[in-house]
Structure 1
Amino acid sequence: MKIINCEVWPVTLTLEEPFTIAYSTMETAINYFIRIDTDAGISGFGCSAFDEEVTGENEHTVDRALRDVAVPMLLGEDPLSYGALLERLHRQLPDQPTAMASVDMALFDIVGKKAGMPLYQLLGGARSSILSSITIGIQPVDDVVKKATQWVGRGYKALKIKGGVSVEDDMEKLLKVREVVGSDIHLYFDANQGYSREEALQCIQVLHRVRASFIEQPCDKRNLQLLDTLRRDSNNKVPVMADEAVLGPEDVLKVIAAGGADLFNIKLAKTGGIWRAMKLDAVASAYGARTMVGCMDEAGLGIAAGLHVALSCPNVRFADLDGHVEFIDDPSYHAVRIVDGYVYPNDAPGLGFSF
């Protein structure tokens, strides 16, 4: 089998309402889609959802990486040799994981379609669905409580609250949300690097009171030691998750060397796709830490790729696969199904979606 053609195109996706986290507010997101055609009549699809704060990429770098580096390298190659291809691509794009991720997804899509199997089954099939959180951005306290009530009313059983701007507001939100949604709803919290050490410790006390599952990247991603310091200074009351501090499997080793973390957030746009995401999960598992598969603000196709990783790896404990839910014009919105907060793949070969 040979790759005979590649097509790359950007799509601007529009959110139902502006979404705010500790370091940005957005109303739209640009995703880059790629189609890889083979001489066997099989086509694979992938997409890139960049976040410049996290990986340093932007619309222009992703465009150049795909058109000028990835596509010329892929033409004429055998997509079933995806491991060797992705290693070569990683050497050529060491600082472009988001661009690489779209190529990775498309290659794995071809492999699954060639095998005639949904990708998660081909990769291990640990489960057939997974509970996902739905994320609530930074808003006034009353609006967050209202949004939480709405999502629970729509069947979601896990809420991820964004914070990191005002620890006082964040603590009030957490207490009020827990009061309103009851004890059976899972609460996750993400500060997106917004806190000082002292603020993080304050918030952890409240997170412990509301029985939150974890706190995600509370402080500056460059201070790796602080992840472990917060665990020790809080007497391990709430698990601490590394997110922006960890892009690929190499970064897990750096966090471990600095003292470690309880959990690691895997996002395909950070790792460079499925191939390296599974390596990251393996390193975390060997260390004894569980993982979460998360996402950027990305189309349903990207969510599907993350879902197949989450379903195939038994070490994955949590999922935050909601990046497409509030887009109003996503051409791949139905690449996954969400029922009562659980995310299901389309039971078709590969990633389960084709244009």
Structure 2
Amino acid sequence: MKITRVSYERLDLALSVPYTIAYEKIDATTNFILKLETDGNLVGYGCSVPDAEVTHETPKEVKNALDTIIVPYLKNKDPFTFALILSELRTLLGKKSSCLAMVDLALYDLLSKKAQVPLYKFLGGYRSSIPTSITIGILNMEETVLQAYEYTAMGFSILKIKGGLNLEEDIAKMIRLHKDFPGVRFRFDGNQGYTVQESIAFVKATSAIGIEIFEQPTKHESDEHLGEVTGQVDIPVMADESLKTLTDAFRLAQNERVDMVNIKLQKVGGILTANHISSVAKAANLEAMVGCIDECGLGISAGMHFALSRPNIVYADLDGHLDLIDDPFKNIFRLEKGVLFPSATYGLGYSE
């Protein structure tokens, strides 16, 4: 099997509900869709989601990488040599992680289609469904509660609350949410907004709630601060922005800075590297979650398939597609009452 044609499409997608996190307000996202056609009539798809904060890429940089590196490089390549392809592209692309992820996903889509199985089975097929949290951005108290009512009415039983701008408001919100929704599981994302002291104060003030994950409360530049929080609180602390590479995973594990890691395919460069990070986490007895950014359904499907394949990935935060307007990939998997289910279609679940 050889790649005979390489093309791509840019999708500029507005969000039906813009949201705020500790360092920015978001109302739209750009996704690039890579299409790999082969001499065996199979077609593979992958996506790139450039994000200035998460992947350190702009849409202009991704387009330039596609035109000057990715498209000409991939022509006539054998998808079964994916490890070599991704290794060489990593060198050519530098730190453009979503560009590498786009190619990685398209190659895995092709290989699992060739094997005539959904991607999660090709990768290991450990489970066939996984519950996901749904995220509430930084809103005032009443808007937060209203959104929580809407999401729980849709069947979601896990809510991730964004914070990090105002400690007292964050504490008050969590206490109110726990009171109004006693059966809901809560996760809290500080989005690097807290100091070590504020992080500890937050956990103490919300101890009765049973928050199951405390995500990246301090700045990613300081592993030591994250480690200080981990050592002084009794709920799991998870690295997100602090984890971008396999080296990051090893360093965080070796120095016991966190209890959990958030693996985002766009951030780490795709499934091949994500598998390595998952193995490091497992060896260090760290729990793992698969997360996302503002990805269309194709990217969310990739995260879901990866999560379903790994025994040590028991958490998912794969809701980035839900507010996208005109997402062409919204129906390639099922979401029922907060639980994600893959389709029986081969690969990532999409074909034209």
TM-score normalised over the length of structure 2: 0.98
Alignment map for 1:18-57 (pairs within 5 Å)? 18-57=18-57
Alignment partner, residue 94 of structure 1? 94
Runs of 4+ in 1 over 4 A off after TM superposition: none
Post-superposition offset of 1:94: 2.7
Which residue identity does 1:103 align to in structure 2? V
Alignment partner, residue 17 of structure 2? 17
Number of residues of Structure 1 aligned to a counterpart in Structure 2: 352
Contact 2:253 2:286 in 1 (8 A): no
Question: 3-state SS of the aligned residue for 2:261?
Answer: strand
List per-residue Cα deviations over 1:48-79 (Å, max 9, x = no partner): 11221122111111111222111111101101
Alignment partner, residue 227 of structure 1? 226
Alignment map for 1:161-310 (pairs within 5 Å)? 161-182=161-182, 184-234=183-233, 237-310=234-307
Contact 2:253 2:281 in 1 (8 A): no
Alignment partner, residue 8 of structure 1? 8
In structure 2, distance between residues paired with 1:311 and 1:209 = 31
Unpaired runs of 5+ residues, structure 2, are none
In structure 2, distance between residues paired with 1:80 and 1:259 = 37
List per-residue Cα deviations over 1:258-314 (Å, max 9, x = no partner): 432100000000110111111111111111101000000010000000001100001
Alignment partner, residue 319 of structure 1? 316
Unpaired runs of 5+ residues, structure 1, are none
Contact 2:189 2:214 in 1 (8 A): yes
Alpha-carbon RMSD across the aligned residues, in angstroms, is 1.1
Which residue identity does 2:191 align to in structure 1? N
Percentage of pairs with the same residue: 39
Post-superposition offset of 1:196: 1.1
Contact 2:187 2:211 in 1 (8 A): yes
Post-superposition offset of 1:204: 1.4
In structure 2, distance between residues paired with 1:94 and 1:209 = 45
Post-superposition offset of 1:254: 1.9
Post-superposition offset of 1:43: 0.4
Alignment partner, residue 346 of structure 2? 349
Contact 1:346 1:353 in 2 (8 A): no
Contact 2:230 2:236 in 1 (8 A): yes
Contact 1:225 1:259 in 2 (8 A): no
TM-score normalised over the length of structure 1: 0.97
The yes-or-no answer on 1:109 pairing with 2:106 is no
Post-superposition offset of 1:155: 0.2
Contact 2:238 2:262 in 1 (8 A): yes
Contact 1:304 1:336 in 2 (8 A): yes
Which residue identity does 2:211 align to in structure 1? A
Alignment partner, residue 145 of structure 1? 145
List per-residue Cα deviations over 1:162-201 (Å, max 9, x = no partner): 001111111111111111111x311011011111111111
